[in-house]
Structure 1
């Protein structure tokens, strides 16, 4: 019988370093993920980190609106729209087997641009453990070493010193500021976003070895074998 990994190769991806493991989000992860979000993401006193405060929606388990229904639709949509011209890897982050956060990689027309965007978050109880830095290093290493990316881009709301510190530790450098719009429960607001970029030359790798499984199948699925072979 065929396996899910054969049908959808991203499910075979596994990235491990020390106590941290990254795998593409599966439906079996969702109950634990919903509980993690419900337990809180934001640090008090820091800017809201997302374009939309999806994590602050009213908790309405089993209802047609609110959290987690709207978030489930977003996570499932990423899988349903996965294609070589635009893809998003939603990676569930586990530390010592416990789900602690999410690490995303997103690319559009990657075969032509070589650019990957990264985004991440951790449950509030897991902030300050070094996991945020390590999971970002693992994701950026995947983009450079296995997918042949030329640079990874990200951003954080000005004033979010925790996110800024993680970016510096991974080797991101400033790449300009711009004004963006956030959608909150209180209304729409304008905030400044600091853009950052990391290249293979500035990338700071983790101290421990990184193990990657399933990258061959992922490359075939994305149609990017030639890009990596041409490096």
Structure 2
């Protein structure tokens, strides 16, 4: 009988660098993930970091409209729409075995653009420990070394000093600003987003070695030519 990892190869992916481990989100992770969100994500004195305030929706398990159902739709949609021309890896981050946040890796028309985009969040109790910087370093290293990306893009709301600091530490450079729309608890607002980009030349790697398992299967699943990667 086939294993789940053979049916959906991203489940076999493991990116690790002491003391962190990144793996693709599984249904078994969801209860802990929901509790992590309920305990708080956003730092009170920093701007709301997301396009939509999904993390502040009323907690209503079993309801079709509240959290976590609304977020489950999003997480499950990422699997349902996974394809070589557009894919998103929703990676659960564990620190010394404890689930502490998520790191997303997203690409569209990767074979032509060699460009990936990242987004992430941490449970508030795990801020200020260097975890945000290391998880970004791990996923950027994977993008360059295993997927053969030419650049990684990200962005943060202007005024979010914590996110800006992580980007600088990892070697991202400013890549222009744009006006975007956020849907907050208090309505729709316009805010400025700072775009940033990192390349293999500017990338600041983690001190510890990065270990990757399952990359070959993921590359085949995404139609990425192994010869064109740095691995």
TM over 0.5: yes
Write out the 4+ residue segments of structure 1 that deviate beyond 2 Å after TM superposition: 226-231
Number of residues of Structure 1 aligned to a counterpart in Structure 2: 231
Q: CA deviation at 1:229?
A: 5.1
Q: CA deviation at 1:228?
A: 2.3
Q: Which residue of 1 aligns with 2:222?
A: 222
Q: Which residue of 2 aligns with 1:51?
A: 51
Q: 1:180 to 1:50 in 2, by over 3 A?
A: same
**What do residues 114-142 of structure 1 show as CA deviations (whole Å, max 9, x unaligned)?**
00000000000000010000000000001
The answer to whether the aligner puts 1:169 opposite 2:169 as a matched pair is: yes
The answer to whether the aligner puts 1:139 opposite 2:139 as a matched pair is: yes
TM-score by length of 1: 0.98
Please give the alpha-carbon distance, in whole angstroms, between the structure 1 residues aligned to 2:37 and 2:26.
16
Alignment of 1:1-231 (within 5 A): 1-226=1-226, 228=228
Unmatched tracts of structure 2, length 5 or more: none
Instruction: Verify the 8 A CA contact 1:111 1:227 in the aligned structure 2.
Output: no
Instruction: Verify the 8 A CA contact 2:146 2:229 in the aligned structure 1.
Output: no
Q: CA deviation at 1:226?
A: 5.0
Q: 1:229 to 1:41 in 2, by over 3 A?
A: closer
Please give the alpha-carbon distance, in whole angstroms, between the structure 1 residues aligned to 2:73 and 2:164.
30
Q: Quote the RMSD (CA, aligned, Å).
A: 1.1
Q: CA deviation at 1:184?
A: 1.0
**What do residues 132-153 of structure 1 show as CA deviations (whole Å, max 9, x unaligned)?**
0000000000100000000000
Please give the alpha-carbon distance, in whole angstroms, between the structure 2 residues aligned to 1:16 and 1:230.
18
**What do residues 167-224 of structure 1 show as CA deviations (whole Å, max 9, x unaligned)?**
0000000000010000012100000000000000000000001100000000000001
Please give the alpha-carbon distance, in whole angstroms, between the structure 2 residues aligned to 1:129 and 1:146.
27
Q: 1:193 to 1:183 in 2, by over 3 A?
A: same
Q: 1:7 to 1:154 in 2, by over 3 A?
A: same
Q: CA deviation at 1:49?
A: 0.1
Please give the alpha-carbon distance, in whole angstroms, between the structure 1 residues aligned to 2:107 and 2:47.
26
2:42 counterpart SS class: coil
Please give the alpha-carbon distance, in whole angstroms, between the structure 1 residues aligned to 2:197 and 2:156.
11
Please give the alpha-carbon distance, in whole angstroms, between the structure 2 residues aligned to 1:38 and 1:204.
33
Please give the alpha-carbon distance, in whole angstroms, between the structure 1 residues aligned to 2:51 and 2:93.
21
Q: CA deviation at 1:230?
A: 8.7
Please give the alpha-carbon distance, in whole angstroms, between the structure 1 residues aligned to 2:96 and 2:116.
27
Please give the alpha-carbon distance, in whole angstroms, between the structure 2 residues aligned to 1:92 and 1:230.
24
Please give the alpha-carbon distance, in whole angstroms, between the structure 2 residues aligned to 1:2 and 1:149.
31
TM-score by length of 2: 0.98
